[in-house]
Amino acid sequence: MSGKRQLILATVLLIAALAAPAFVGNYWLRVLTTVFMFGVVAQGLNVIVGFAGYHAFGNSVFFGIGAYATGIGMTLGLPVWVAIPVAVAAAALIAAVLGWPFLRLRGHYFAIATVALNAAATEVIINIGGVTGGAQGLPLPFSSLPPTLLYRIIYFAMLATLVLATAIVFWLSRSRLGYALRALRDSESGAEVMGVDTVKAKILAWTISAAMTGSAGGLWAYWLTFIEVGTAFDISISVRGYIMMLLGGMGTVIGPVIGAALFQLVGDAIWSHFSGIHNLLLGALVMAVVLLVPQGVLDSLSRLRPPARRPRRAAEA
Amino acid sequence: MFAQTFVNGLLLGGVYGVATIGFSMVWGVMGIINLAHGAYIMMGAYFSYMLASRLGIDPFVSMPLVMAALFCVGFTVQHLLLNPVMRTSVLLTLAMTFGLELFLVDLFVALFTSDIRSVNTSYSSQALAVGPVLISYVRLAAALLSLTLAAFLYLVLTRTRLGQAILATALDREAARLMGIFPERIYNYTAGIGAALAGAAGSLASTLFPISPGLGNSFIGAVFVITVLGGIGSVTGAVAAGFVYALIQSFAASYLGVNYQEIVAFGLFLAILIVRPQGLFGKRFFGEV
Amino acid sequence: MSALLSVDHVGVRFGGVQAIKDVSFDVASGEILGLIGPNGAGKTTLLNVISSLVKPSGGRVMFDGETITGRKAHTIARRGVARTFQIVQPFRNLTVAQNVAVGAMFCDAGRSATAVAEACTEAMEQVGIAGKRDFLPSQLTLSERKRLEVARALATRPRLLLLDEVMAGLNHAEIERIIDLIRAINRNGLTIIVVEHVMKAITAVCHRAVVLQFGEKIADGTPDRVLSDPKVVSAYLGDRYARRQVAQGAVA
């Protein structure tokens, strides 16, 4: 799908999303907020997986860190609009620090190291206790705003985060850093001998990815007002994000957003009709997607069109 | 207490080893991280449970049947679902096995509910006393069977044509093709053997642990750690690492508290990954990019 | 002529294997040096040491008067050492032009987008793949992929170019083309080290040749002299053949 068509699609979607709260009830507001949240998670994965080729399967760790840092910050008396940015910074900082040892690992090793990191973070939060609430979970201070207003604020905040994340990915797709990442994804030593500082590029990518994922986690915590390790560090958050990114097409700009919408809306329809065998159908869906549209939905759609593939103008980056 | 802790760890280590070998082999030979491996273990446990509760066949006796059933499952899944996406990308196989795991676990919830079941045999609660240390017969049998299975698999890999073909495919898929080996067929067999071993582990687990659809989840974390500890694709490494892991877990639980069991395990895992990604015992042998 | 690159008593150990033993040589500015030797002699390893993908266990490498041993690979690339890989490593999801652009983009941080595009087009034209700028590497022939490697290296605007078996697997006409290309690049003042098995090419383009065997330097001189050195002949063809050659007076 060409850049222009992606841009038109993105604009249409954005207008629809801005107008939606005027027309939908609380149920759909919640569903759409969830779509945006997973859209952000999927974009976070897109940066590190789609661009850099590092399979951060356990990226949910930054979701949990974002959620817990927001929760702790608010418990300590910070207002939410300070607590969430602080939480995002915390997630980014942790990624930057851990990036150096972790991103030296290649392929599968990196993927499972992030999974282990997620598990370790869970245990650490439980065992610290005190300010984290330990195994009992952490209630956030209640907002004084009326619920209908609060949920609309969260809706727009989540949408704004998604737009920002998508804008960052758009910038990345044309920037020097984006080229560095795509180059090292295909051949790390090839990129190095062409002057790419691969270590720096990878760490930057993971930091951006963590910041995105952390902001989704922070907003989620504020939305839920009660968090616990099991749900905040749930590995299925990143796994879902992964499927969404795959579904929409990784390495594309709006693919992950489309994927999030498709997956979450279909998942929701399944959830409401077949609550007993939700995961069974979800699993079947995942397998079907992988088997039938491995290149992502965006790419498959563009393949349905006549084959006139316009040559891409490159290098004017 | 020290001796008892040591024996407990040792006895559990064998089961961990068997639970890991199949996973590690599939990863090493095909580059597939089979997230449904835990579900295979769970299925093995349920098959054993069914055979024991309906037909009264002892799990240790029915194990070959369970392994054969799981072999077919693994073979079929590889043939129908994984081979078509193998060539494209690592993460597609990962996503595929993730979907399979969701599917299978929920399928068993639908079939058997989430109730906890267990297999009781006449010798379940009996133990052999060696001085102050009690050795449960079931655990002892499970540990010995594990070692036998591992040894058998090792011989299959090193002494048979199929084993040689599997190793050759692991080393270089294209070269293997030139030697007249069909990689896809080898992959099917490898996946089948991996699943059969998961089934065996499930069979053993059914005699030791309560059975529920979530049984596999309690294993998969350990399986990951042990695979990396032993070196990806290494049979002997998986067995040795299974014992090391079980001992560490056993000691961490009895001296630091059950809460720390997991932290120690994951801490160990991360430390090894970062310092020695080829595993404690492993050589960097199988193709890993 | 001053030495642009000095390899100074370099040794490399992989576990228990001494892959390179105490190798020293200089490359003068503007020179084309051939690095030859039988398989496993350590040629590629030596290139890896120069571009810092492999750390030597002893000795040092000087480039333009400065020690570059132990520096990061990308900083060496930015200083002006470019290379190709024996097994081509294109960025397979980027087009030909984008592949080349990466080289231009990172080796001169201040360069503008138009400068990048210019350097990119120039490099593609120089090796003759400009017509395929929007192709993916997988759509190129082997010869074109090898030339893409060279174009990527040229786009970094190097002062020293390391070519690792760019002719392997090519036919006669394609080899002639690459030889012309190397000569043309060199005429622009670029210093080149050529690792090659194709002897014809070595004698055709190199001013000087260094021969490695089992990680040691066994000869250094003009291509003709080096190739008739009994030590070199025996390294390639075995002792008996070399003795017979000497006995027959073929090597005088």
- For the ranges A76-90, A161-175, A192-206, A235-249, the lowest mean pLDDT is seen at A235-249
Is a pLDDT exceeding 50 seen at residue A312?
no
Residue C173, domain member (yes or no) = yes
Interface residue C123 vs chain A (CB under 8 A):
no
Nearest CA in chain A to B267: A120
Residue type, C150: V
B41-95: pLDDT as tens digits? 999 999 999 999 888 888 888 999 999 999 999 999 999 999 888 876 666 788 8
- Please indicate whether, in this complex, the C-beta atoms of B221 and A119 are within 8 angstroms of each other: yes
What is the ipTM, given to two decimal places? Answer: 0.86
State pLDDT tens for residues A78-89.
999 999 999 999
Judged against a pLDDT cut of 50, whether residue C250 lies above it is answered with no
Task: Tell me, yes or no, whether B282 lies in a domain.
Answer: no
Residues C75 and C188 grouped into a single domain: yes
Domain extent for A274 = 3-304
Is B121 inside a domain boundary? no
Task: Tell me which of B79-93, C37-51, C161-175, C230-244 is least confident.
Answer: C230-244
Q: C113-127 and C96-106 helices cross at what angle (nearest 10)?
A: 120
Instruction: Name the band, by pLDDT with cuts 50, 70 and 90, for residue B163.
Output: confident
Residue C27 sits in which domain range?
1-80+165-219
Total number of domains constituting chain C = 2
Q: Is residue C237 part of a domain?
A: no
Interatomic CA distance for residues C244 and C252, integer angstroms: 13
* Tens-digit pLDDT profile for residues A117-133: 898 898 888 888 788 88
pLDDT for residue A297 = 56
Classify residue C238: in a domain, yes or no. no
Chains in contact with B, counting 3 or more C-beta pairs less than 8 Å apart as contact: A
Same domain, C203 and C92: no
Q: Tell me whether C101 touches chain A (CB under 8 Å).
A: yes
In a domain, B245, yes or no: yes
The percent of residues above 70 in pLDDT, for chain B, comes to 91
How far apart, in whole angstroms, are the C-alpha atoms of residue A120 and residue A194?
37
pLDDT of residue B281: 59
Tell which of C139, C157, C175 closes a domain: C157
- Structural domain includes residue C74: yes
Helix axes of A176-186 and A147-174: crossing angle, nearest 10 degrees = 70
Partner-chain contact C93 A185, CB within 8 Å: yes
Residues of B in contact with A105 (CB under 8 A): 273-274, 277
Report pLDDT digits (tens) over B114-124. Answer: 888 888 776 66
Please name the residue that has the structure tokens 């080899």: C175
- Name the strands in the sheet holding C66-67, side by side, starting at the edge strand that comes first in the sequence: C17-28, C3-14, C58-63, C66-67
Per the structure block, which two tokens stand in for A205?
A: 């990518």
Q: Which of C13, A109, A102 is nearest to B278 (CA)?
A: A109
| Contact predicate C102/A191, CB 8 Å | yes
Judge whether A213 and A40 are in contact, CB under 8 Å.
yes
Supply the pLDDT for residue B282: 52
Q: Identify the top-confidence range among A96-105, B40-49, C235-244.
A: B40-49
Q: Is residue C233 part of a domain?
A: no
Q: Within an 8 Å CB–CB cutoff, is residue C136 touching chain A?
A: no
φ, ψ for residue A9 (rounded to 5)?
-60, -45
Assess whether C136 and C172 both reside in one domain. Answer: no
Do C68 and C11 belong to one domain?
yes
What are the E-state strand segments in chain B? 127-130, 133-136
Q: Do residues C106 and C144 both lie within one domain?
A: yes
Average predicted confidence (pLDDT) for chain C:
87
Mean pLDDT score across all residues of chain B: 83
Question: Under a CB-based contact definition with an 8 Å cutoff, are residues B252 and B268 in contact?
Answer: no
CA within 13 Å, CB half, B72 = 6
8 Å CB contact of C105 and A179:
yes
Chain C nearest CA to A316, separation (Å): 6
Q: What is the mean pLDDT of residues A50-79?
A: 93
The mean pLDDT of C34-51, rounded to a whole number, is 89
Per-residue confidence at A310, pLDDT binned at 50, 70, 90?
very low
pLDDT greater than 50 at residue A305: no
pLDDT of residue C244: 65
Which candidate from B31, B91, B106 shows the least CB-CB separation from A55? Answer: B91
More confident residue, B144 or B175: B144
Residue B240, domain CATH? 1.10.3470
Alpha-carbon distance A74 to A224, whole Å? 13
Average model confidence (pLDDT) for chain A?
A: 86
pLDDT-above-70 percentage for chain C: 92
Q: How many CA atoms lie within 13 A of A231 on its CB side?
A: 12
Give the pLDDT band of residue A313 (cuts 50, 70, 90).
very low
Q: How far is C247 from chain A (nearest CA, A)?
A: 47
User: The domain that contains A28 carries what CATH number?
Assistant: 1.10.3470
CA distance B182 to B173: 9
Lowest mean pLDDT among A42-46, B99-103, B168-172, C146-150: B168-172
The amino acid at residue B144 is: L
Q: What integer pLDDT is reported at residue C242 of this predicted model?
A: 61
Statement to judge: residues C66 and C170 lie in one domain: yes
Mean pLDDT is lowest, of A32-46, B95-109, B268-282, for B268-282
- Contacts with A195 from chain C: Cβ below 8 Å: 74, 77-78, 103, 105-107, 156
- Find the range with the poorest average confidence among A115-124, A165-174, B33-42, C45-54: A115-124
Task: Please indicate whether, in this complex, the C-beta atoms of A287 and B33 are within 8 angstroms of each other.
Answer: no
Task: Quote the number of domains for chain B.
Answer: 1
Does any domain span residue B9? yes
The whole-angstrom separation of Cα B247 and Cα B2 is 11
Judged against a pLDDT cut of 60, whether residue A220 lies above it is answered with: yes
Q: What average pLDDT does this structure show over C87-97?
A: 89
Nearest to A253 by CA among A18, A13, A61, A22: A13
- Tell me which of A179, A193, A199, A203 to substitute to probe the interface with C (most C C-beta atoms closer than 10 Å): A193
Q: Is residue A313 part of a domain?
A: no
pLDDT given for residue B197 in this prediction: 94
How many other C-beta atoms can be found within 10 angstroms of the C-beta atom of residue A48? 28
Domain that holds residue B8: 2-115+135-275
Give the gyration radius of chain C's Cα atoms. 19
**Is B73 a domain residue?**
yes
Residue B57's pLDDT is what? 87
Count the domains in chain A: 1
Is the residue at A88 inside a domain? yes
Question: What subunits touch chain C, counting only 3 or more CB pairs under 8 A?
Answer: A
Listed in sequence order, the residues at least 6 apart from A111 whose beta carbon sits closer than 8 Å to its beta carbon are A55, A56, A57, A58, B33, B94
What one-character-per-residue DSSP string does chain C give?
Answer: --EEEEEEEEEEEETTEEEEEEEEEEEETT-EEEEE-STTSSHHHHHHHHTTSS--SEEEEEETTEE-TTS-HHHHHHHTEEE--SS----TTS-HHHHHHHHHHHSSTT--HHHHHHHHHHHHHHHT-GGGTTS-GGGS-HHHHHHHHHHHHHHT--SEEEEESTTTT--HHHHHHHHHHHHHHHHTT-EEEEE-S-HHHHHHH-SEEEEEETTEEEEEE-HHHHHT-HHHHHHHH-HHHHHHHHHTT---
Q: Examine the pLDDT at A301 and tell me if it is beyond 70.
A: no
Please check whether residue B28 lies inside any domain of the structure. yes
> What's the pLDDT score for residue A263?
86
Q: What is the pLDDT of residue C207?
A: 93
Residue among A173, A205, A156 at smallest CA distance from A37: A156
* Distance between CA atoms of residues A244 and A46, nearest Å: 10
Q: In this structure, is residue A166 part of a structural domain?
A: yes
Output the six-digit token pair for B238: 């998986």
Structural domain includes residue B252: yes
**Residue A309 is assigned to a structural domain of this protein:** no
In terms of domains, do C71 and C173 share one?
Answer: yes
- Considering the domain architecture, whether residues C45 and C5 belong to the same structural domain is answered as yes
Residue B129: per-residue pLDDT: 76
Contacts (Cβ under 8 Å, ≥6 apart) of B107: A280
